[in-house]
Chain A
Amino acid sequence: MYTFNYHVPKNIDEATALFEKSSEPKYLAGGMTLVASMKQRLTAPSDLIDLSKIDTLKKIILEGKNLKIGALTTHNSISKNEEIQSTISGLCDLSNGIGDQAIRNFGTIGGSIANADPAADWPAAILALKSQIETNVRIINGEEFFKGMFETILDEKEIITQILFEIPNHFTYVKFQNPASRYAIVGIGLAVYDKIARVSVTGASHTPFRASEIESALSNNFEIDSIPLNSVSSENLNNDIHASAEYRSHLIDVLTKNAVRTYTQ
C-alpha cells in the first residue's frame, strides 16, 4: 500500500472542505473493501478522509411509514436493530448474510452502496424497496442510483448521509452465494406494496436491475407458477468462473420462486 494523507473530520462540512483541498482524495467508511483495494494497489488515494467519527451518520430512525438508516450504520447494527426487525425484517436477514461477523462489525450500508459492487447485497434492497439515497446535497431516488459496475450517480465529493426505505407489506432477500466470499452469484430482492410486486436482481449482471417481466406477472397473480421462465435472458448476464450466464438466468427463476414462497407460506 502506498502512503497517503489521513484525515478525521468531525462533520460533513469539514469532510467536503478536505476533499476539495486534496488532489486525489477518497472517503473512508468501514473500509472493508477500500483498505483491501489499497493493499492491492487497485486504488491509491492521495488523501483518505475517514468519516467514521461523524456520529450523525449512524442513526436509525423510524418515522411514519419510512425507515431511515444512517449511512455509517454497520451491517451488524442493522441486523440487531429492533425497529428494523419489527418493520422490514428482511433487511436484517440481508445484512446478516454479508461476509462474516468481523466484516459486518465494521462494514457499513453507505459504504457498500457507494462502492456499488455488482455482486453486493444492499443494491437488491435499494431497488426492490421504494428507497431514497440522501446525500449532503440532494435526495436521489434509489432506482436512479446505480449506473454500472462500481459506478453510481454520486459526484466524487458527495457524501451519502442516510438511506430511506418506505416500509412495504413484505420484503425478502434470497441469494445463491459464493461459498467463500458470500457475495451473491445471484441475489433476488422481492418487495410487495399493496399487492404490487417489485423484484430486483443483484450479482447477475454488471449492475443491479429490476426484473420488470417478473414484476408484472407477480403483480397480476402472486403465485409461484405465474413467474415467467427465462424472462431475464442470459445475453446480458455475467459469465465467469463462478457461474455461466445461462445458469445465472436459471437461478433468477429459482430464487424468485423461493422469494415468493416466503410470502405465500
Chain B
Amino acid sequence: MESKVVNININGKDFKKSVRSNLLLIDFIREEIKLTGSHIGCDTNQCGCCMVLSNDISLKSCSVLAIQMDGAKITTIEGISDGDALHPMQESFREHHGLQCGFCTPGMIISAISLVNENSSPSEEDIREYLEGNLCRCTGYENIVKSIFSGAEKMKG
C-alpha cells in the first residue's frame, strides 16, 4: 500500500484524501489543502517555519508523513484567528513589531500559543527556551520575545 486514504482535521474541517506514503504533512497542508501560511524553511527539522499544532501540541510538519497523521487534529496559522479578528498572539506580534520579513512568523506564533497553553505566565527565560526550535534569520528575537510576553497576558482574556 504505497498510498492510503487518511482522515485529517485541519482547522476544524475534515479532509478525507488519498495520500502517497512519502508525502510530508507540510506538503499535504500546502499542496493538497492549499493552506500556504505554514512555510517550508530548512526542510530539515530545525527552523520551525512549518510549525503546526497536532492535537494541540507543537509539531514541525516537515518532519512527519501525512499518512502518520490519520485521525489527527491539525491547527495551522490560518486556523487561529476568528474571521478578521486576529488571535491575541497575532495582535501582540503586530503591536510589538514581532517580525521583520515575516517568513518565520507563522511558526513563531504557533510555538508561542503552544507555550502559553502549557504555561500561562511564561518568564522571558521560558519564552527563549521554548523558541529553541524556531529560527528567525532577521534576528528579530527581542521583539518576538516581547510580543509573546504580552500575547500571553492577552490570552488570559
**Which A residues are within 8 Å of any B CB, using their own CB?**
1-8, 28, 31-32, 35-36, 38-39, 48, 50, 52, 76, 99-103, 105-106, 180-182
Q: Is the interface of A mostly helix, strand, loop or mixed?
A: mixed
Q: Do A36 and B45 contact each other (CB < 8 Å), given the known contacts A100-B132, A100-B133? A: yes
Please tell me if the beta carbons of B132 and A182 are within 8 angstroms of each other in the complex.
Answer: yes
Please tell me if the beta carbons of B64 and A3 are within 8 angstroms of each other in the complex.
Answer: no
B20: contacting residue among A3, A28, A76, A180, CB under 8 A:
A3
Which residues of A have CB within 8 Å of B4? 6
**Which B residues are within 8 Å of any A CB, using their own CB?**
1-2, 4, 20-22, 24, 43-46, 48, 51, 57-60, 63-65, 67-68, 70, 111, 114-115, 130, 132-133
Q: Is the interface of B mostly helix, strand, loop or mixed?
A: mixed
Residue of A nearest to B63 (CB): A35
Cα A262 to Cα B132 in complex, Å, equals: 25
The smallest beta-carbon distance between A168 and chain B, in angstroms, is: 27
B21: contacting residue among A32, A48, A99, A100, CB under 8 A:
A48
Cα A1 to Cα B2 in complex, Å, equals: 13
The smallest beta-carbon distance between B12 and chain A, in angstroms, is: 21
Please tell me if the beta carbons of B1 and A6 are within 8 angstroms of each other in the complex.
Answer: yes
Please tell me if the beta carbons of A1 and B133 are within 8 angstroms of each other in the complex.
Answer: no
Cα A83 to Cα B39 in complex, Å, equals: 38
Please tell me if the beta carbons of B67 and A6 are within 8 angstroms of each other in the complex.
Answer: yes
A105: contacting residue among B22, B45, B59, B68, CB under 8 A:
B59
The smallest beta-carbon distance between A76 and chain B, in angstroms, is: 8
